[in-house]
Structure 1
């Protein structure tokens, strides 16, 4: 429950048709086995779904009512909200309901709104459509139980957990009850279902649950009837799913898993249990201005319940250490191609609009300038222009190594660009004399003078050539302020402004793979060597062996950590304590070496290291906003961006004290 995490379970117990005592025992065991704060059981689980005309028998209905009372009593000591399907008589009519229980109390009865009468379904023979308005009824020994579809169940001890129920067919109609429930404040929709299996239906069901959770920005738990139901004409597979904002967290499909079928023999239940982040859902809803929630809950009846505020382990929740990079190779390749297309189209449009004859870019042999040069080549191809119009300028200085210089040269030639070299050493030394700076003083002035000299060269050459300076800085550098103000910070169009460093690496690797597939081994080889080169601005002299002496990640921290922080802070809006907790889970060694296949393995970091760089991240992020407040134009490619004209409207004078103070308490 802490930090917004709640364990939600969709469980399918093994039942017997019309055997209420047996089924209640099975439901009790399923609730206890789930070990979750919210447990969803299937439609009509108290009796089983396939009783057909037996639902018209008083003896079955009486037993069902007593069964709910016994289930409430025998789960009173379980710290869970439980939703179970049961037939309910109201005013001489029969309704297919979800009974909502917590700590032995019957909180409400939510009837099915949409009654199917097509294909294999014939529910209208026995059940009525449930009313939306809520009234009080007698049931299971309780004199006043709320009855009606417009009900919400709100946890007092965790206000972010607001539960709504709908039943099977309610999800499949054009306007599901969950839409209004979510607009009234629901964050978790529980579907008690009895969806039979047909060829292809599981895929459709899966997509429907995932897309509904995405459209409604909610969690969705779906528990379907399974083992023990009658197979007279159809088969029920016990498909259970838990989704969160479009992401399928957990799924159990016993029909296609013999081990799950065996696990479901006897009373044992099968199901899907997942840790849902309700803090993330709240952040998403705050961010989306078009997502509306009625302040007065639109007339819904709200019942409160309490759950213990406990620490929910994240062991069962995948915390992606590289949130910007898909782990699946095929999805990663698709992502890379899409990003290249966005970058190239953005640059092509800017070149065409400005009537620029040339694209001018500084190439260092590092990752960022390599990616920017590749984007330039794609943009020129889109415009049908000769790549010789790309003017690649290498500008060796005091820290340039033979390796990076050689890679910059080889790559420019392999892409068919015009290559020029301008050594900046003499000009920078003259500048040192002009401002009275001692060359042996390797302070920030020593470094930034080189960076600004390079930018001056690029701008002036672009003016003379009628060209446009293409920026190379990436999203991670902009977030950290790892750029020299009015130097590499500035350009006429920054193609990498929306690409985080962890993704830059994969984009370059993607092009290397493409080049190898086309037989261009020369380009592939130089790109792979760029990938193998340490990230460095190369502004300090190289070592005696000609090796890079200045490594960026030694100074600002590992980029995989900073990109993780960046995503959690900007995309999710999480507080420092939650970012820290998630980082501990993501980098504790569970995924080490296994998340990525292209050389960017997941590191393992201890708590002290994570805290060190998280503090550094917040300090740099706040203190360097003045650089982001005057960024050049550049294309947004993902859900996280820092453009002052788009995603990040942040004052340059904001204080970091609140965020630092929270970190100090951990």
Structure 2
């Protein structure tokens, strides 16, 4: 398992009904391809060695003998292979015929999982041929030249690298309480489902929803393989579904109704799943209940009764990541953009509305710089006032030009306030900051942190005093990315009465402002907002050059926000170590940032994140929008003097 990933495959082979020799060759062909790709576990459809649609031929001893012989041949084929193979076959156990998933590696059968729930409604009549696992008692059998114990108890398998996986068969996942519920609580991190799902109008979308929910509910990877072209079409058609999920997210999907064999390959991030389980106390509580006593498939049973862990010889092999890594994890996908942006705005708006109503306040004060953060805060204030039916004049926008203010940002600030019809005030901070620097005997030519922070704190003082004067509150404009990097002035722009952007990263702010612009019917506002999005991010605290352009670009100083937001997401959301974040970033930003650039700014991120915690320990209130937040009252509690040395060392060792 490399970087916490396990490479899995879901295969839909060529099939001929009741032709076990042909089916075996088709399966072996796909196993060989998967082995060459470094796949660790591959699964095939239900009854893949015979074909699912054999009907009463399952009563023919010849077919059952051929199926057993096909398993024997498959054992011989896999004797020198590390890959774990899961195939479907009918297996006779005394007077029972079971529909089984057979787990094979290096010429050995590691386990058989009989199907529990047999559909016997509509077009299905499996009980005509098969018995359920519920009808089985633990039994020793001889099958395909091996002595095996077949049992109705749930089985848990474990690879050499420690990944636990389990198997359920088709209808099992459609049951009100699927076996995978218990298997996941018992420790299974990946579930394989061998299936035979026929196609009906609307069924495919329902199936995907079902699998996504089951994967999310159980916090597992879920690998699904279902019968395809070649099965009998006497009464139904099988489309060939191959799907791989990870905690509800679809990683890979085959093309349905293909006339060719298919195989999808992806990597399931087991490390991520483990972190999700550790963080999810509900999952842990459910495990505790299961550990005492639970009503399972065979009556009241204890966890020790059905957890059978089989260590597998599945050694480390060369690893290549094939799944895509989204470089912008905070940004909604195109198909979800409108709904997600509307939802984010509503969270911000409702948060501010509740605060205003609670303190019976109809006035807000905020600094308008013409930059991204203050623009988003202004949009939230305008929408909140409109929803409350308050006069927009109760929004006091204050532009406070200083030593580094550019004409571009100043013009945009004035234009936005005018077009939105809010109250405006312009107060230059240059005279007061100049006097302050004199008072503390600091040369105005020494443009260091003192020079810059004096401006930020002067602006905050003005806003705070104006809020007192007009009986209002200061709405903060700082964002999540700045809080992560500590790119804010302590008790300056760091402070407000309510911080509407506190859990929104810089990359997402760009999209929110652009989204509002694209929805706006006011062309002047739309053009202005789009220009704000295109303006280089800068605190504008250093004097401009001879052309009036800023000489202080934030991303030149602390690094690209594209990278920092990516680092922040995986560092905070999943607790990944820097080396894994680096590996993911190389894949996500291939062609945009080289390895040295990523490593350089990753080190900066780690150092700044640890050294700036003291600013996050005393944040003002603000609404949580996504799964990542730095509020000291909720998602992130960290000592301000925690050491970064181990994390820095992990970066240095890259």
Aligned equivalent of 1:594 = none
Corresponding residue SS for 1:220: strand
Shift of 1:193: 0.6
Residues 251 and 271 of structure 1 are in contact (CA less than 8 Å); yes or no, is this contact kept in structure 2?
no
Out of 322, 330, 347, which is 1:324 matched to?
Answer: 330
Residue 199 of structure 2 corresponds to residue 197 of structure 1: yes
Q: In structure 2, which of residues 425, 434, 440 is the aligned counterpart of residue 429 of structure 1?
A: 434
Q: Does 1:239 align with 2:244?
A: no
Aligned equivalents of 1:129 and 1:104: distance in 2? 27
Contact 2:395 2:423 in 1 (8 A): yes
Quick check: 1:83 aligned with 2:86? Answer: yes
Q: Secondary structure at the match of 1:88?
A: strand
In structure 1, the residue matched to 2:603 is 615
Residue 288 in 1 paired to residue 288 in 2?
no
Shift of 1:133: 7.1
Structure 2, unmatched stretches of 5+, are 292-302
Structure 2: distance between partners of 1:44 and 1:367: 58
Q: Distance in 2 between matches of 1:181 and 1:73?
A: 30
> Partner of 2:133: helix, strand, or coil?
coil
Tell whether 2:60 aligns with 1:27.
Answer: no
Distance 1:440 1:65 in 2: 87
Q: 2:493: which partner in 1?
A: 488
Q: Does 1:640 align with 2:628?
A: yes
For 1:356-375, what aligned pairs fall within 5 Å after superposition?
A: 356-375=361-380
Task: Give 3-state SS (helix, strand or coil) of 1:470's partner.
Answer: strand
CA distance in 2, matches of 1:337, 1:357: 24
**1:526 is matched with which residue?**
528
* Unaligned stretches of 5+ residues in structure 1: 590-603
Matching residue of 1:127: 130
In 2, are the aligned partners of 1:8 and 1:274 still within 8 Å (CA)?
yes
2:403 counterpart of 1:411: no
Cα distance, 1:226 vs structure 2: 1.4
Q: Is the contact made by 2:153 and 2:305 (CA closer than 8 Å) also made in structure 1?
A: no
What is the CA distance between 1:419 and its match in structure 2? 0.2
2:155–2:306 CA contact under 8 A, matched in 1: no
TM-score between both structures, scaled by the size of structure 1: 0.93
Partners of 2:153 and 2:306 within 8 A in 1: no
My pick for the range that moved more, 294-303 or 635-644, is: 294-303
Q: TM-score, normalised by structure 2?
A: 0.95
Q: Does 1:303 align with 2:305?
A: no
> Are residues 1:663 and 2:648 paired?
no
Name the residue aligned to 2:575. Answer: 573
Q: Is the 8 A contact 1:133 1:150 kept in 2?
A: no
Q: Deviations over 1:548-578 (max 9, x none)?
A: 1111001000000000000110012111110
What's the CA shift string for 1:421-470, capped at 9, x where partnerless?
11111111111122111111111000000100110110011011100000
Farther-moved stretch of structure 1 (28-37 vs 187-196): 28-37
Contact 1:38 1:81 in 2 (8 A): yes
Distance change in 2, residues 1:407/1:380 (3 Å):
same
Inter-partner Cα distance in structure 2 for 1:574 and 1:346: 31
Partner of 2:298: none
Q: Which residue of 1 aligns with 2:612?
A: 624
Instruction: List aligned pairs for 1:74-473, cutoff 5 A.
Output: 74-131=77-134, 135-156=139-160, 158-159=161-162, 161-255=163-257, 260-261=258-259, 264=260, 269-292=261-284, 293=287, 299-314=306-321, 316-328=322-334, 330-473=335-478
Tell me, what secondary structure is at the counterpart of 1:181? helix
Deviations 1:232-287 (A, max 9, x none): 111111111111111111111331xxxx31xx2xxxx3132212211111121112
- Structure 1 CA distance for aligned equivalents of residues 466 and 381 of structure 2: 17
Cα separation, partners in 2 of 1:458 and 1:155, compared to 1, 3 Å: same
How far 1:665 sits from its partner (Å)?
Answer: 1.4
| Structure 2 CA distance for aligned equivalents of residues 198 and 155 of structure 1 | 37
Q: Distance in 2 between matches of 1:136 and 1:477?
A: 64
- Structure 1 pair 655–302 and aligned structure 2 pair: CA distance change class (3 A): same
Query: What's the CA shift for 1:134?
Result: 5.1
Preserved CA contact (<8 Å) 2:84 2:105:
yes
Q: Hey, what's the Cα distance between the residues in 1 that align with 2:137 and 2:470?
A: 73
Most deviating of 624-633 and 335-344: 335-344
Partner of 1:39: 42
Q: How large is the Cα RMSD of the aligned pairs? A: 1.4
State the partner residue of 2:295: none
Per-residue deviation, 1:485 = 0.1
Q: Which residue of 2 aligns with 1:600?
A: none
